[in-house]
Chain A
Amino acid sequence: MQDTKEMREVYCESLIEMAKTNKDIVVVEADLMNCIKTGPFKKAYPDRFFDVGVAEANMIGISAGLATCGKITFCSSFATFATRRCFDQIFISVAYSKQNVKIVGTDPGICAEINGGTHMPFEDMGIMRCVPDMVCVEPTDCAMLKSLMPQIAAYKGAVYIRLFRKKTEKVFEDGAQFDLFKAFTIKQGHDVTIVASGIMVDRAVKAAALLKDKGVDAEVINVYTWKPIDEETIVRSLTKTGAVVVAENHNVFNGLTSAVSEVAARRCPVPVESVSVKDQFGEVGKMPYLSDRYGLNVGNIVDAAIKAVSRKR
């Protein structure tokens, strides 16, 4: 079932709500205000809104400068341009300088759809995960975004938020609460763990239902904060199930598969399977086509889970 709201609506509503009591909330855009739809924030707080035009590096630098003066700056662009286009500015002016800037990258992975390969980020979380101290989070749906926004604003430091802009599949009930630094176990199981993020969470839940019919009892964990990753929840689950499938709308390199594998390799080595993009560029298409193209469907998760179980000793 689709959410009734677009995630960008919740994003902007949260900003406005926080700005009512927090005079330091500032929004900086780079000509995509009309895509992320922060226009209502601009209308409500014109003095705390800046659109620097098509200049992402400048957007990041200005955000860092505002932060040195105590501002909590939320800036955004398509995830490609919010990360790889201005990586050094994020690394030096924001992260190395320890500035309180929140960077929102929208249209993750195949969600970029017909904007195609130039706009299709399979690497954004990987890039941001390499930046020391950078918190990397992919809110799953509107309910989670609403719960996490105040925590993201309250956290003193750089945060990268990978954001689906439009209506996504509703996974969590309205009013559900989440901890920014914990994973959330959606379904308990004993045979295999499915770790999923973003659009893959709903698919993981559906895969678990199909696996049940095949006699496989899958545990489903939504790891929305990829860094710092909630090691304890992962280790507890992998120790119990003895196998894991990671499902991510991202390149297999440097993303959630890497993050989970790093934990598993160090603390509880188990078979790891990955449903992800295998070192490829994006291309134009709608989500169903792209899901087939890159192997990100429910069926791919089911197959990977069965394979992971078969690899258990």
Chain B
Amino acid sequence: MDKQKVKFLNDKADDIRKLIIEMIGRLGVGHVGGSLSIVELLTVLYYDKAKIDPSAPNDPDRDRIVLSKGHAGPALYSVLADKGYFPLEKIRTLNQPGTDLPSHCDMNKTVGVDMTAGSLGQGLSCAVGMALAGKIDKKDYHVYAIIGDGESQEGQIWEAMMYAGNMGLDNLTIFLDNNKMQIDDYTANINSVEPFDKKCEAFNLRAERIDGHDVAAIAGAIDRAHAAKGKCTCVVLDTIKGYGVPFAVSKGVGSHSFSISEAEWREFCNKEAD
């Protein structure tokens, strides 16, 4: 990836981070940490790799992006708003009565959301179904599924992994947001999901592990996943919960969901009073 593109994507990721903090900050509380850890991934997908068109959100030939860790909705909403799926001002409605932007992603409420998720473990199976539909219809769209490490303690993740691996679904790429924390503690202290890449390989998937905040590395991993015919790929993204926002990272395990003061978000976003 050329330097110009890397800079563009990194700058975009910075913008998305600010939108996330503004969105949650205006509400006062939300899932901050796990939204911030997938910003580089969403940026590479929506601004570089995925075949999507904000003016045709239901195009049957589009790539699908399933955010199985649905509590990271604010990250996805920020990207969708910035891409023009809906007006940017809508981010101010997060979790307000009657909003189209609920805590957890809802495909029937938010334009551009490909699958409803929030009850952990379910989205990956749905992504497998989308990939199978692509095979039936001989379409060349690709399905990208984003799962969490805590989420991967759900058995259904492994039901879906096993089937995706055995079916050789090369039109599905799975990303693990390995931010190493869950609500109660560090994932390793609760019930470790490592070695995740080795588990995937044992399930007949192709696996690799990269720095989840390196946009060039993410783009490269996607290219390799596309090139791996007859194999479903899982990319383990080593990430930091709350990445890019010091007051989130410093909360550690507490960064999953916490309150943000007006002063905090305005300072981070460099925004004066409305």
| Residue ranges of A at the interface with B (Cβ–Cβ < 8 Å) | 26, 47-48, 50, 52-53, 55, 57-58, 60-71, 73, 88-89, 91-93, 96-98
Assign chain B's interface to a size class. Answer: 20 to 34
Main secondary structure of the interface of A (DSSP, over half): helix
Please, how many angstroms separate the alpha-carbon atoms of A111 and B227 in the complex? 51
Task: Specify which chain B residues have a CB less than 8 angstroms from the CB of A62 in the assembled complex.
Answer: 125-126, 128-129, 132, 160, 163
A57 engages B129 (CB within 8 Å)? no
Set of chain A residues within 8 Å of B115, measured between Cβ atoms: 65, 68, 97
Chain A residues in 8 Å Cβ range of B124:
61
Q: Give complex CA distance A58, B129 in Å.
A: 9
Contact A58 B133 (CB under 8 A): no
- Tell me, in angstroms, the Cα distance from A92 to B119 when the chains sit together: 7
Known contacts A92-B119, A93-B126; A65 and B133 CB within 8 A of each other: yes
Task: Mark interface residues in B148-164 (1 if CB within 8 Å of A CB, else 0).
Answer: 00000001100110110
CB within 8 A of B60: which of A64, A70, A92, A93? A70
Number of A-B contacts (CB under 8 A): 100
Cβ–Cβ < 8 Å partners of A69 in chain B: 60, 129-130, 133-134, 137
Q: What are 28 inter-chain pairs, A to B, with CB distance below 8 A?
A: A26-B136, A50-B132, A55-B159, A55-B162, A55-B163, A57-B155, A57-B156, A57-B159, A61-B129, A61-B160, A62-B129, A62-B132, A63-B129, A65-B125, A65-B127, A65-B128, A65-B132, A66-B129, A66-B130, A68-B64, A68-B107, A69-B134, A70-B60, A88-B122, A92-B116, A93-B122, A93-B126, A97-B107
Task: Determine whether the beta carbon of A97 is less than 8 Å from that of B116.
Answer: yes
Residues of A within 8 A of B156 (CB): 57-58, 61, 89
Residues of A within 8 A of B123 (CB): 61
Chain A neighbourhood of B136, CB < 8 A: 26, 47-48, 71
A53 to B166, CA, bound (A): 11
Is there a chain A Cβ closer than 8 Å to B230's Cβ? no
The residue in chain A whose Cβ has the minimal distance to the Cβ of B107 is A97
Q: State the CA gap A66–B160 with chains docked (Å).
A: 14
- Per-residue CB proximity of B110-145 to A under 8 Å, as 1/0? 000011111101111111111111111100000000
Interface centre among A58, A73, A98 (most CB of B within 10 A): A58
Contact A68 B129 (CB under 8 A): yes
Interface of B is mostly: helix
Q: How far is the CB of A288 from chain B (nearest CB, A)?
A: 39
Decide: B118 and A64 in contact? CB cutoff 8 A. no
- List the B side residues contacting A65 at CB < 8 Å: 115, 125-133
- Given A60-B125, A61-B126, A97-B116, A66–B163 Cβ distance below 8 Å? no
Give the chain A neighbours of B191 by CB distance below 8 A: none
Given A61-B122, A88-B119, A92-B122, is A68 in contact with B130 using a C-beta cutoff of 8 Å? yes
Least Cβ–Cβ distance between A42 and chain B, in angstroms? 14
Q: How far is the CA of A103 from the CA of B118 in the complex (A)?
A: 22
A139 to chain B, nearest CB (A): 26
Q: How far is the CB of A106 from chain B (nearest CB, A)?
A: 21
- Decide if B55 is an interface residue (CB 8 Å cutoff): no
Residue of B nearest to A61 (CB): B125
Is B108 in the interface zone, CB < 8 Å from A? yes
Whether A93 touches B130, Cβ cut-off 8 Å, given contacts A57-B156, A70-B60, A71-B136, is no
CB-CB < 8 A to B162: which residues of A?
A: 53, 55
Closest 5 pairs between A and B when the two form their complex, measured CB to CB: A65-B129, A61-B125, A69-B133, A65-B126, A58-B159
Contacts of A70 in B (CB 8 A): 60, 133
Is the beta-carbon distance between A58 and B163 smaller than 8 angstroms?
yes
**Inter-chain contact B108/A66, CB cutoff 8 Å:** no
Would B108 and A98 count as touching, CB distance under 8 A? yes
CB distance from A265 to the nearest CB of B (A): 33
